Structure 1
């Protein structure tokens, strides 16, 4: 692998594009070693702008190793995405690929160091997310707590204990997880804003995050919330600077914006994000359409990184019709979390019926009437739809036993005593 660029190595957008242009021929040459791309264009790729998009379906069709561009013995890890299509989307990486992956993820303005204890609370299974944070933290000498979030061995009560007793300084999770931790901490008698003094930042990704929910999470825990954007197929694609803007790692990949309506491609604007990683050995991807809805801008940022910024809309851009209006999750989430924090609303759900938006919020009885009234008023005013807001008791949407329970996780066995339940034979509980 060529020497990897570092932030600050370029002094203008022209120099940034020159870095891309210098690496692109190596990327195209590596792609010709892949059976998939060799079948598509042989040993001589067309001009970059004439390349067909690579789709998610292409990757599924090439399962498991149709896109492999190195000898299989050189692979370090194999992964599959968390998609719900029913077909596996494979991804694989060499040791050199992992150097690039870990460096990109670690580009956090808050910094990662050997003084940190880093709780990784995303899946370690076939997805890359947990392994990515783990590798980045170890690259900088941090102590990793591999919490996972798909394991019965790590219920929320244990997460709270680990956060508190191990004096965790950094964490990596989906934004919703941090609200669940807060509720679980309070259920355990802790105050999130004061009882975790070593915590200095919450790294989050994996789902759209509205500005209001982000601000509420930061207020609850009293630390910055730092966003990350990427995928199992690509690793980290963008990270946040100290001014709160998400920047695409354009020194490590070429990014394009595809408008599926106009069938046009441009370097910025609104549309679907298309990415070409520039330092990929095991599985080169040429003009891979992530199908994520984004807005990309090259406007100046005070951070001085000289990288494009991106707003990731994802499915939050999709709206449901209600009466004569349209409701999106992002906008509705903003309205919910713009309620006064004293109402203690953390969890909500909504259903877009044809004529009315039905919303439920968990809220203590003392604040229920005020919260219902305030949210009803703002939804009707801001979204222009009829709504029915219902406050429900805490524990209705997120049951208390989920926050406080401890699972009995044991190793499987086959021999039981006369008074034991042998239906548990061979199984983990």
Structure 2
């Protein structure tokens, strides 16, 4: 059976050509989607309904729709063609499903490898995201192997690879690239220092941190780069569709609009526009197993078609996180990424890597890990910055290093047990069946 695989389009001269490519693919996308029970019912094709003429005639698909269609309502190919099945991390509600064919994986891998680091056979990529149900760990593994790179499947959320072991792998195996969320390299830096190593000098082969999975402020991106003395390149994507955008060498994040149509939904009015500020709505152009039409990711973004110094004609996307992850404080909405920006604007000499905050009705209570020599200055500066930039009161309390990120977590060798039922007379049998 002949299958249509995505190919990298020839260079185009402007946004009009990009939109023409999108229009060329939409008909195929609509026909594929009609094979899924959810869209077949939505279009009422079995009751004399007609196919939509274009995306403008298609209502938004929501996360609630995906959950209601579980398990196979969104599947548009025979089950024998499914290569892998995944579920989202359920950080904003019940998990959503994602099916992939082999050809879907070709598309996903090619999008991953668009990040401007030039992954090749000489690279060793340490993958430090979950290999379980979410897509991200498998994306890095597949994409790097497609380019001939060596992959270290370090996983995360696993007793098998504690932070001390990650630091050893980074150094002993001459890791050149890492794939993780942005918090991981902060913890690795602390773990490296706990082992008597300097992240800037004792990992000479490391050339870039590839990060995903969390909103990343510009201030934290700069701090990560300073800690490790490498480039920090952010990928943006979702389990439902894979990579969607990555940062160019000019520091701006470009959306892969030649593979996925982006639109912006105004949640107050329901109006959908090609750019602007609001919820990101996407339509993948090459998805086989699970076509999605105007799917609302519920990520609050600003999308624009402004020129970029890197020369890319792909639109620029800026992320503000999910609206559900912001909290009302004294009549204002405050998000984690806004606070994070201010925390990591503190001078690097203060050594602040770890923090937490709680939103209250009229103020924010914050704790920062900082040594006593810098505690007063750090707390005063952060409280002042929050009041100035966010317009809310903030109480900042210092906590000693090791409070939010305990030392035993940084240096523990791990605790991995094989299942056992027979023990010696002096052995602890309380975890015998756990592995």
- Check whether TM > 0.5: yes
Of 267-276 and 298-307, deviating more is 298-307
Q: CA deviation at 1:325?
A: 5.4
Matches within 5 A, 1:186-265: 186-265=193-272
**Inter-partner Cα distance in structure 2 for 1:70 and 1:354:** 49
Count of equivalent residues: 428
Determine the C-alpha separation between the residues in 2 that align with 1:381 and 1:17: 41
Question: Residues 160-203 of structure 1: CA distance to partner in whole angstroms, max 9, x if unpaired?
Answer: 11111111100111111110111011001110011111000001
Partner of 2:311: 304
Closer, same or farther in 2 for the Cα pair 1:322/1:72, shift >3 Å?
Answer: closer
Q: Output the aligned Cα RMSD.
A: 1.7
Contact 1:237 1:248 in 2 (8 A): yes
Counterpart CA distance in 2 for 1:395 and 1:144 is 32
From 78, 89, 94, give the equivalent of 1:71. 78
- One of 355, 359, 363 as aligned partner of 1:356: 363
Corresponding residue SS for 1:103: helix
Q: CA deviation at 1:242?
A: 1.1
Tell me the CA shift for residue 248 of structure 1.
0.9
Greater CA deviation, 380-389 or 241-250?
Answer: 380-389
| Per-residue deviation, 1:324 | 6.3
Equivalent position to 2:404, from 384, 397, 402: 397
CA offsets 1:21-52 (integer angstroms, 9 cap, x no match): 21111111111211111111144421221111
**Deviation per residue, 1:228-253 (Å, 9 max, x gap):** 11101010111111111111111111
Gaps of 5+ in 2: none
8 Å contact 1:173–1:205 — kept in the other structure?
yes
Unaligned runs of 5+ in 1: none
Pairs within 5 Å for 1:18-417: 18-43=20-45, 44-47=50-53, 48-84=55-91, 87-315=94-322, 319-323=326-330, 327-417=334-424
User: Could you state the TM-score of these two structures normalised by the residue count of structure 2?
Assistant: 0.94
Aligned CA distance change for structure 1 residues 40 and 118 (closer, same or farther; 3 Å): same
Q: Does the C-alpha gap of structure 1 residues 125 and 267 become closer, same or farther in structure 2, counting only changes over 3 Å?
A: same
Greater alpha carbon shift after TM alignment, 63-72 vs 155-164 = 63-72
**What SS does the corresponding residue of 2:430 show, helix, strand or coil?**
helix
CA separation of 1:406/1:338 partners in 2, compared to 1, >3 Å: closer, same or farther? same
1:389 Cα deviation from its structure 2 partner: 1.7
CA distance in 1, matches of 2:82, 2:328: 47
Query: Residue 255 of structure 1 aligns to a residue in which SS?
Result: strand
Counterpart Cα distance in 2 of 1:155 and 1:286 = 40
Q: Deviations over 1:115-135 (max 9, x none)?
A: 100011011101100001111
**Structure 1 counterpart SS, 2:185:** helix
Tell me, yes or no, if the aligned pair for 2:30 and 2:52 is still in contact at 8 Å. Answer: no
Displacement, 1:318?
5.7
Q: Which residue of 2 aligns with 1:16?
A: 18
